Amino acid sequence: MSIFIALLILSFLVFFHELGHFIVARMCGVSVEVFSIGFGKKIASMYIGQTQYALSLIPLGGYVKLKGQDDANPKARNYEVDSYLSKSPYQRIAILLAGPLFNLLLAFFLYMAVGLGGKLSLLPVIGEVKENYPAYLAGMKTGDRILSINDKEIKTWEELDSAIVNAQGALLVALQREVNANPHIINLFEVILTPTQQETKNIFGETITRNMIGISSSGEMGIVQYNFLQSIGYGFNETLKASTLIIQSIMKLISGVVPSSEVGGVVSIVSVIGSASQDSWIMLFWLTALISVNLGILNLLPIPALDGGHIIFNCYEIIMRKPPSENIAYYLTLCGWAILFGLMFLGLYNDIFRLLS
């Protein structure tokens, strides 16, 4: 059942991506010849206007075939008034951007739903205070709960960490402290402290310098919910954060900081989605949003055969006032497909190696 859910989610994410291309293409007056859910042999299809809507055999996403655009044969050209190539480079770029942007938009709404529903998160409760660090000198203690920093509410340890890292000076920290276990007596007070720059390791294992105040988490977990307006901000921030992390990961992979053995394929994705589906709908939504961001960002990579590669071709046409030659576009597209198949093979190889291990 979990595999079925995973395949359904992957198909929906690709379908939503292609829906973005479809809608903007129609807005620009480009005919859509085929809109298929799934790949391969068509199981069922029907025509509405000039578009064939199809259900295909392999349930891994889908595709949109625009009139005048054929990645399998880049030399094929069609300049009829309703074809893709008859439109201006700016319109073509809009069509190409629509797919990735729809993925980011979907992620935003999914993260919003997570914020409204409430996600199990690490709470901003102090577990340890290091001597002679700003928190210690300001009088903060184990068990203190941070309520706000510079009058901005803090609900999770992640928000606390972000506020400290991005601090540009002194911080006004509002605390809650239990001073008597029975009955509970709670004191609310504020302290002022200034973070210091310290060396530490980031998630990629690199040594970096960042703001620190000398506290660690207690490990206390809790369900954190946001109201409607807060969930909009949460959705935006999570989408931005996921996008940034994916871009950084790609750069670290290219530079060799992240080993190629960390690349995962469809098997890994299906496995992780399957586990999340057995946990809760909140975790499933959160993970689906992350994969949707991943799909959107990866499609913007400047690799021919991806949306990003086609955007580069159109930018070249805008700058040079002429399209790249058919032969150059053809061979670059072949190289792009080779890169994609290479990455798919690497991901599958790593997945199989992990399973065998």
Percentage of the residues of the chain whose pLDDT score is greater than 90: 38
pLDDT reported for residue 208: 83
pLDDT at 270 over 80: no
Cβ atoms of residues 350 and 261 within 8 Å: yes
**Distance between CA atoms of residues 241 and 174, nearest Å:** 26
What's the rounded mean pLDDT across residues 205-224?
Answer: 88
Cα Rg of the chain, angstroms: 25
Res. 247: pLDDT tops 80: yes
Q: How far apart are CA 263 and CA 317, in angstroms?
A: 34
Instruction: For residue 261, name the pLDDT band (cuts at 50, 70, 90).
Output: low
pTM: 0.83
CATH 2.30.42.10 occupies which residues in the chain?
120-224
Q: Which residue has the higher pLDDT, 40 or 266?
A: 40
Whether 14 has a pLDDT exceeding 70, the answer reads: yes
Smallest Cα–Cα separation from 29: which of 3, 58, 67? 67
CATH superfamily of 120-224: PDZ domain (2.30.42.10)
Q: Specify whether 80 is catalytic.
A: no
Q: Higher-confidence residue: 57 or 71?
A: 57
Q: What is the per-residue pLDDT for 346?
A: 66
Position 256 confidence tier, pLDDT thresholds 50, 70, 90 = low
Contacts of 238 (CB under 8 A, 6+ apart): 107, 111, 114, 115, 289
Q: 203 and 143 in contact (C-beta within 8 Å)?
A: no
Angle at CA 237, nearest 5°, toward 232 and 238? Answer: 100
- Is pLDDT at 129 greater than 80 in this prediction? yes
> In 3D, which of 13, 19, 54 has the Cα closest to residue 37?
54
Shortest CA distance to 155 belongs to which of 254, 47, 237?
Answer: 237
Distance CA 214, CA 78 (A): 64
